[in-house]
Structures are given as C-alpha cells and as structure tokens.
Amino acid sequence: MSRLARSDRHAILVDAGYLLASSAQILVGTSLRRAVAVSWERLVTGIKDSAAEHTDTRLLRVFWYDAANALGTRALSEEHNLVSLLPDVKLRLGRVNNEGAQKGVDTRIALDLVNLALQGAVSEIFLVSGDDDLTEAVDMAQDYGVRVTLFNVPNKESRIGVHATAMNLARVADDRLPIPLETIRAAITPSPRQRTEPVTVAVPAAEAEAEVVLEDDPQSPPRLRIPTPSEVARLHPTPAPPSPPAPVAPSARPAVSLAWSSSTEHHGGGPGSDPDADLRAVIPEVVRTVVRNWLDSATQADVQALVATRPTIPGDLDSTLLNDLVAHSDDRYRVLQTETRWQLREAFWAEVDRHV
C-alpha cells in the first residue's frame, strides 16, 4: 500500500483518564471516576461518529489509553476487556505506581503521536486529552505534516471551550473541538447506588501513634482516637522560614509595588497574602461532593477498606480531592500550599465520620 493511500486516514487517541474524569466533573460535579457508569460501546461509537463529522478521511483506528487498575500488574480488568474487543479499538495500558498514580500513559500517547506521523499512517489525529506533557509530541507530529485537533469534553465557561486542557497544548493544536455533550450524556451516567443499608464499620486496629482515651466508666475498655492529618504533620514540623532581610533604606526601595494589574487581573503577593484563600473557602463543598459520590458507588466492604487506611487516603481518592479543588481555580496546574492539602484531607475524614 502506498504512503499516499495510507495517509488518507485519521486516528483518534483517547486518554481514558482525562475523558472519564472530565465527563464526571461535568455530569456529577467531581472527577471521581467511579462516580459514573459507562456504556463503552456507545461511548466509543459516539466519539468515532462525532469525529467523522469534522473530516473527510477514513478512520484508521481508535487508540484507547488507560492505566491498569491493580498495583504492579497490567492484567486486563472487565472494563479493559470490553473496550479491547470493540471494533477499530487498540488498547494501550500504562501502570499504577506505589502511590496509586498512573504512569506511562502520557508516554504511550506521545510515542504514538510521533510514530503515526513519522510512518505516514495518518494525515489527521483527533486527540482526546488535555495534558501539557503532550505539547512537544503534538508539535513534532505537525512537523511531519499531520493535522492535530483537540477533541475534548466541552466547557462553555472555559475561554478555549473545552474542559481541563493545558493552555500550551491548546495553543499548538490546529483546532479545538468539543465532543458533543449529547454524545457524552448518552454513554456516561451517574453510578447507581451500591448500598441500601446504613454504613457501619468496625473500629480500626490500633496504630503506633494512636492516642488512648479513657472513658469515665472504669469497666469500659479504652477507646482509640486516630490522629488527624494535621496532628501527624506536627510530628514532622517543617523547618522555620529564614529570617527576614534587614530593612532597606527608603531611597533604595522601588518606587512602585504592583498589587493588581488590570491587564492580567493578577493580585500581587505581598506580606501576609494567602495564595490559597479562595480555594480554602470551597473545601467543604469539594469534600461533600467527593464523599457523597464515593459512598453512593461504594459497597460495605469498600467503606471498611477505606476506614482501615486512616489517616492515609487511597491514591485515587486523594488525587480526586486535589484535582477537584484545583478545578475551582483558573490554573489546572496550580500547586496547592501544604497547609491547604492538610486542611482538605482533614475535612475529608471529618465528612467520612459524619456518615460512618
């Protein structure tokens, strides 16, 4: 087959983590993946049909990227088995590291972006991802003559029209198109409730640093109180900040100190400023949404397993909390202050305690 014939095709590269987390955020208010149920055939078919409306080339295949569900293994889950058996779909699996974070997915997407372009296999790529790490790979694929279009979850409140997409990636892409919301709603719905009975959990086993609280009744056994995240943090205090510099003579000080810019609408730092004040205000809302959706999709065994990890929060839940909080800012790559992270995690356990 000639290079020209092969290039009259398009490929769709789908970062499943981005697609499902962003869709869940739009539909149920949290990026928690288990908060939604998915009809995989309907979702893949809908994306293929929607992309076909924007090109006159034929589909080569859909590349579906995801991380293995279990730590240290790439065994296929039921979800991955279903996706891999769909027509025109090639499954690419990454892995999960010791912290529960997915690894290798972005690398696989970047390699396929460049390789498809280098081999002349396609003339157009529809990329379903918002990750800044793919910017250079998109740029290189374009150097080989491939047109790259971002095909992401819609968000009318975003100035680029799509949800959770890095500005650098949006700038280098040839176009930015939203996946029709009706396509997403037809395939992705809120997860059905898993439990009908009240949540009950056993008292967790004693931990090394748990505090023993004595009851007034001398016959009753001592009760264990698990330390909060902030109390654990105080066991390992951060170093004291360096001493402030010596006062500068008035003549040596700058004439103007920028506190706010009308062009960037950015507030200056300044002494006593709290960069996370806006996000701390929405911590209760974020925590309530995440916990409610997680409990709705959790079994009794899931709840017991969660409480057994206290005060550590499982990696997927912790990432969801952080991502959902950052989603309330304009910068999806914003780095939260350490104290903000502790407050978020402590609020999570407090909300869990209200239900269990």
Give the C-alpha separation, 201 to 352, whole Å. 11
Residues 292-296: contacts with CB under 8 Å, at least 24 apart: 293/28, 293/29, 293/30, 293/32, 293/34, 293/35, 293/190, 293/191, 294/32, 294/34, 294/35, 295/195, 295/199, 295/355, 296/35, 296/190, 296/191, 296/193, 296/194
Instruction: Read off the amino acid at residue 311.
Output: P
201 contacts 307 by C-beta, under 8 angstroms: yes
- At 240 the pLDDT is 52
67 contacts 61 by C-beta, under 8 angstroms: no
- At 259 the pLDDT is 36
User: 140: burial class by Cβ within 10 Å (0-12, 13-18, 19+)?
Assistant: middle
Give, for 144, the enclosing helix (H) or strand (E): none
Most confident stretch, 54-58, 98-102, 157-161: 54-58
- At 347 the pLDDT is 96
- At 68 the pLDDT is 81
Mean pLDDT of 155-167: 90
178 DSSP 8-state letter: E
Domains of the chain by start residue, with CATH: 3-190 (3.40.50.1010), 195-228+275-356 (no CATH)
Which residues, in sequence order, are CB contacts of 295 under 8 Å at separation 6+? 195, 199, 303, 355
Which residues, in sequence order, are CB contacts of 242 under 8 Å at separation 6+? none
User: Checking DSSP bridges between strand 124-128 and strand 147-152, what pairing results, if any?
Assistant: parallel
Most confident stretch, 39-43, 220-224, 327-331: 39-43
Q: Where are the beta strands (DSSP E) in 17-122?
A: 36-38, 58-67, 89-96, 102-103
Which residues, in sequence order, are CB contacts of 300 under 8 Å at separation 6+? 195, 197, 199, 200
- At 262 the pLDDT is 36
- At 90 the pLDDT is 98
128 contacts 62 by C-beta, under 8 angstroms: no
Rounded to the nearest 5 percent, the helix, strand and coil shares of the chain are 40, 15, 40
- At 107 the pLDDT is 96
Q: Report how far apart, in Å, the C-alpha atoms of 206 and of each of 203, 227, 346, 350 are.
A: 9, 11, 19, 19
Provide the CA 302 distance to its chain's centre, in angstroms. 21
For residue 332, pLDDT beyond 60: yes
Give the C-alpha separation, 95 to 86, whole Å. 22
Mean pLDDT of 13-22: 96
Q: And the tokens for 247?
A: 């006062």
Q: How many residues does the chain have?
A: 356
DSSP letter string over 72-99? T-----HHHHHHHTSTTEEEEEEEE-TT
Q: pLDDT averaged over the chain?
A: 82
- At 268 the pLDDT is 44
For residue 242, pLDDT beyond 60: no
* pLDDT tens-digit series, residues 5-15: 447 999 999 99
- At 224 the pLDDT is 46
Give the C-alpha separation, 166 to 248, whole Å. 40
